[in-house]
Amino acid sequence: LKKISIAIDGPAGAGKSSVAKLVANRLNYLYIDTGAMYRAFTWAVMHRNIDIADEKAVQALAETLEIRLEADVELCRVYVDGQEVTNDIRMPEVSAQVSSVAALAVVREKLVQLQKEMSMAGGVILDGRDIGTVVLPKADLKIFLTASADARAKRRWLELKNRGTVESLQQIADNIQARDKMDSHRAVSPLRQAEDAVLVDNSEISLQETAEMIVKMAEEKM
């Protein structure tokens, strides 16, 4: 069987990471959570009190920061310069800032480069906003995963609750809406569906069913 590459893009809370994890486990593929990388970079910016308007400082950070993902069956662990930040990067403070940081070209250059290197061998599934359009324009399978705003807010709320973070449904819905707006309207690599991506709306189906659908589509490409 050919080891293919799978791209999943879509707005916040569509269940991209849960679905990608399920698919990765089923196919024994490497799961790469690119949103976690933007969150990790944002965490470092905040932790070091860097002003994102200070291009030189952001550039210097992009040149030196080491971001590492360690996928295991349950979750994708994230390390910044060796320090684990898996839970810290899901905090509301990071969620509030991440789309501003992700709009910076120097940050995207660094992380896209890293994502390409990690994907080189195939047998990978990446989720994000620009995977099918920029990171892996030649991905074997591209999915644009979306759901109603309501379904997405509820899902993200449940996910955060399970991780032990307390945020109201309204706060989460507001953050999702703000990020979608910024992510879709930024100048560099905005969120958009690639022309050759399959549109999947999972408002009415479970994450397991969504993953099952994608596994079937993937098997056809192998």
CA distances from 18 to 13, 14, 89, 138, 194 (A): 10, 9, 16, 23, 21
Give the residue, chosen from 15, 119, 130, 136, that forms a contact with ligand C5P under the rule CB under 6 A.
130
The DSSP secondary-structure symbol of 73 reads S
14 annotated binding-site participant? yes
**39 is a contact residue toward ligand C5P (CB under 6 A):** yes
**41 is a contact residue toward ligand C5P (CB under 6 A):** no
36 annotated binding-site participant? no
In the complex, the smallest distance separating the C-beta of residue 28 from ligand C5P, rounded to whole angstroms, is: 23
In the complex, the smallest distance separating the C-beta of residue 107 from ligand C5P, rounded to whole angstroms, is: 9
Interface stretch with ligand C5P, choices 22-30, 45-53, 123-131, 211-219 (CB under 6 A): 123-131
Tokens of 160: 């955060």
164 annotated binding-site participant? no
First-to-final CA distance of the chain: 6
Spatial CB neighbours of 204, under 8 Å, sequence gap ≥ 6: none
**35 is a contact residue toward ligand C5P (CB under 6 A):** yes
**102 is a contact residue toward ligand C5P (CB under 6 A):** yes
11 annotated binding-site participant? yes
**132 is a contact residue toward ligand C5P (CB under 6 A):** no
Tokens of 176: 């999702």
Tokens of 131: 């995977």
Interface stretch with ligand C5P, choices 43-51, 72-80, 97-105, 160-168 (CB under 6 A): 97-105
**179 is a contact residue toward ligand C5P (CB under 6 A):** yes
Element (H, E) at 141: strand 141-146
Are the CB atoms for 151 and 206 separated by under 8 Å?
Answer: no
- Rounded to whole angstroms, how far apart are CA atoms 40 and 15? 19
**34 is a contact residue toward ligand C5P (CB under 6 A):** yes
CA distances from 194 to 98, 132, 146, 221 (A): 23, 6, 13, 18
**98 is a contact residue toward ligand C5P (CB under 6 A):** yes
Binding residues for ligand C5P, rule: CB under 6 A, are 12, 34-35, 38-39, 98-99, 102, 128-130, 179, 183
For the annotated binding site, the residues are 10-18
